[in-house]
Chain A
Amino acid sequence: MPFQQFLQHLVNAISLGSLYALIAIGYTMVYGILRLINFAHGDLVMVGAYSVFYAAAIFHLPWPLSFPLAILLTGALGVLIERTAYKPLREMPRINLFTSAIAVSFLLENLSIVVFGGRPKAFDRPAFLNANISIGRVRMLSYTPVIIFTGLVLFGGLMYVVHRTKMGMAMRALSRDIETTGLMGINTDRVIMFSFAIGSLLAAVGGILWGIKFPQINPLMGVTPGLKAFIAAVLGGIGNITGAMIGGFLLGLIEIMILAFLPHLAGYRYAFAYAILVLVLLVRPTGIMGEAAREKV
């Protein structure tokens, strides 16, 4: 394979990887704190994309308005889900929480089939994201560097919040031991809500960028990215935010490179992520960055 073509694939892999990473962060934060696989998280990706679509199609909002609005709306929905569907069950056996997450996801998907219609819709890219550009000899559409840049800025911001602010410190404490953290005088409800808000905001950004990269949206579009992002989170070490980013990029890289070098496997591309999950579970269940869980009796 010529080097230039390899670079082309690499750029593609990084942009796909940052989408996985954006979505994976929400999974890993919730799992780290509540030990819950938040199945509804993937559907927030869909809600984010549809919010932008309808903001443009019905209210004719320009993108500088519609993007932030959609992100805030999705963030609010994430918090609403946490308040109504997860918080009341926190003291119950975990399987109830799990079932609730499934129910929320099921409801969101069915509601959007009824409200948005089951047929896929074309997602319009803003003009500045649709230009042909070339960096060196690698040619691409202008959304690719925008996706990568947005991802990097958000990851930087998140790292700052988690490691340099009081709220971030509280989040890290909560993922260690939720009860003790509460006894230390930290308002655990507020911290959990904050984590859901951050995760949902990032999922919304992921959803919008996903719609820009693959400009066809449908009510079930969040399922596959959600599943893959969760696998990315496991690959990086579930519960670890840095791990989720690394896992996301790695998953994007592996997927694109397998396709690039073994194009006849294209029909099975959905199976790659799953094979990776099985491998990780068999070989190194704690993932790349994860530490072995302590057994509490």
Chain B
Amino acid sequence: MNLHISRNRILTLIALVAFFLLLAYASSNFSPYVLRIMNLSAIYVIFAVTFNLIYGYTGQFSLGHAGFAAVGAYVAALLTMSPDQKVANFFLQPIVPLLANVQLPFLAALVIAGLMTAIFSFVAGWPSFRLRGDYLAIATLGLSEIIRVLLINLQSVTNGALGLKGIPGYTNLFWSWGFAVVTIFVVKRLVDSSYGRALMALRDDDVAAEALGVSLLYHKMLALMLSSFFVGIGGGLLANLISTIDPSVFLFFLSYQIVGITVMGGMASLTGSVVAACLYTVFLELLRPIESPFSIGSLDVPGMPGMRMVLFSALLLLVILFSHRGLFGGREFGWDWILDGFDALRKRLKGSKERTGADSDSEEAS
């Protein structure tokens, strides 16, 4: 048994090393356009995995991802911009002296961004988790809008509706995918621990879970604050990737998109979240042409801005109505799954009449 676990660990390590070698190759050989899509994929992976923690595993509906990402993005941006850049940005009203001369290394800025975001999530979580029911959704959606109002109005801190320009582009594949891997690792370890069991217990039946001694408030807060910590980091990575942010980047649409990605990937499946986030980012890019004017033969079709989101939301509705399991259902990708699949395949090729492969067959089929 011990040997079994260490085999999987070694395989994971090998896969990680191979993955980062691939990233190293990509970052020096791929075009900036492809790199940007890869970076964005990693950020969406962080968003989707953290949303899955609160939604898929804990059964709570948070619509605050947009607001939380905004907090992370602004904190990281303000902490990494040089004092000169800040002077250039804040021409309507000077920046508060406290922030004017701060400039931190990227890692420190990201961690602070995560912590600040976790504190913000507490404000939405505390009043709504004290009650049973679905108040979290409305509290987080409201908080998300309030954060936007604050961003617009706190001119001397956030530069208001003008937003921030010239944020240093520190985000590269190692930062973005590095944090994506860390997020997946932490969330996976959490859901496999006794805390994770408690989260799933309260998702399935909160009354029974409470009767067994699970503190609902504590565990829900834990899931929310942990997930928003990483959302804040994701927001920081985003700010330092796109280098220009303003409050309209973080409309509630962003939260809806993350709901869609996670649902399509499959509730309580981290594999699903990762795959769906990457597919989403890539397909959104591939479908870009349908929003610009094109012509079929002599027929001129005018561009339809927003069409991609219509397709995406229609697809989301179809998934929820007809499959409700998403791409991966609740299953995870794992070494056991692959190796058992190989074993079964080998046995079948040998012509063995045993029905050992039945299980993995049905898994592969769906």
Interface residues of B toward A: which range?
35 or more
Given A95-B61, A227-B141, A37:B310 Cβ within 8 A: no
Closest to A36 in B: B134
8 A Cβ contacts from B255-274 to A: 256, 259-260, 263, 267
Is the CB of B9 closer than 8 A to any CB of chain A? Answer: no
CA–CA, A224 to B130, complex, Å?
25
Pairwise interchain contact B207-A281, C-beta atoms closer than 8 A:
no
- Which of A66-74, A84-92, A120-128 is the contact stretch? A84-92
Contacts of A271 in B (CB 8 A): 146, 149-150
A281-B131 contact given A99-B263, A273-B142, CB 8 Å threshold: yes
B304 touches which of A109, A114, A270, A297 (Cβ 8 Å): A114
Which residues 247-297 in A have Cβ within 8 Å of B in the complex?
267-268, 270-271, 273-274, 277-278, 281-282, 285, 293, 295, 297
Minimum CB–CB distance from B343 to chain A (whole Å) comes to 35
Residues of A within 8 A of B244 (CB): none
Known: A103-B316, A103-B320, A274-B143. A110 touches B127 (CB 8 A): no
Chain B interface mostly: helix
Q: Count how many chain A residues have C-beta atoms less than 8 Å from C-beta atoms of the other chain.
A: 46
Q: Mark A78-104, 1 if CB is under 8 A from B, else 0.
A: 000000110011001111101110111
- Return chain B residues, CB-CB under 8 Å to A281: 127-128, 130-131, 135, 139
The answer to whether A95 touches B149 (Cβ under 8 A) is: no
Q: A102-B259, A281-B130 are in contact. Are A37 and B324 (CB under 8 A)?
A: no
Q: Binary interface profile of B, 97-113, with partner A (CB < 8 Å = 1, else 0)?
A: 00000000000000000
For residue B321, CB closer than 8 A to chain A, the reply is yes
Please determine whether B310 and A227 come into contact, CB atoms closer than 8 angstroms: no
Q: Are B137 and A37 in contact (CB under 8 A)?
A: yes
Asked whether, in the complex, the Cβ of A274 is within 8 Å of the Cβ of B320, the reply is no
**Shortest CB–CB separation between residue B302 and chain A, in angstroms?**
11
State whether A85 and B260 are in contact (beta carbons under 8 Å apart), knowing that A110-B313, A281-B135, A297-B207 are contacts in the complex. Answer: no
Query: In the complex, what residue of chain A is closest to B124 when comparing beta carbons?
Result: A278
**Are B153 and A267 touching (Cβ within 8 A)?**
yes
- In the complex, which residue of chain B has the Cβ closest to the Cβ of A223? B252
User: With A and B bound together, what is the CA distance between A118 and B310 in angstroms?
Assistant: 13
Decide yes or no whether B181 CB sits under 8 A from chain A: no
CB of B309 within 8 A of chain A?
Answer: yes
Q: Distance (Å) between the CB of B299 and the closest chain A CB?
A: 19
In the bound complex, do residue A88 and residue B321 qualify as a contact, i.e. CB atoms below 8 Å apart?
yes
Alpha-carbon distance between A114 and B153 when the two chains are bound, in angstroms: 30
Are B310 and A98 touching (Cβ within 8 A)? no
- Verify if A143 is at the interface (C-beta below 8 Å from B): no
Interface string of B134-157 (1 = CB under 8 A from A): 110111011101100110110000
The answer for the CA separation of A99 and B56 in the assembled complex, in Å, is: 11
Q: Give the distance in Å from the alpha carbon of A145 to the alpha carbon of B161 in the complex.
A: 36
Which of the residues B138, B260, B320 comes within 8 Å of A277, measured between beta carbons? Answer: B138
A50 at interface by CB-CB < 8 Å: no
Cβ of B132 < 8 Å from any Cβ of A?
yes
Q: Is there an interface contact between A267 and B152, defined as CB atoms closer than 8 Å?
A: yes
Q: Are B259 and A99 in contact (CB under 8 A)?
A: yes
Q: Closest CB of chain A to B43's CB: distance in Å?
A: 20
Q: Which residue of B is nearest A274, CB measured?
A: B142
A to B CB contacts below 8 Å, 15 in the list: A89-B320, A98-B137, A102-B259, A107-B313, A107-B316, A110-B312, A114-B306, A227-B138, A227-B141, A231-B142, A274-B142, A274-B145, A278-B127, A281-B139, A293-B132
| Chain A residues within CB distance 8 Å of chain B | 35, 37, 84-85, 88-89, 92-96, 98-100, 102-107, 109-111, 113-114, 118, 223-224, 227, 230-231, 234, 267-268, 270-271, 273-274, 277-278, 281-282, 285, 293, 295, 297
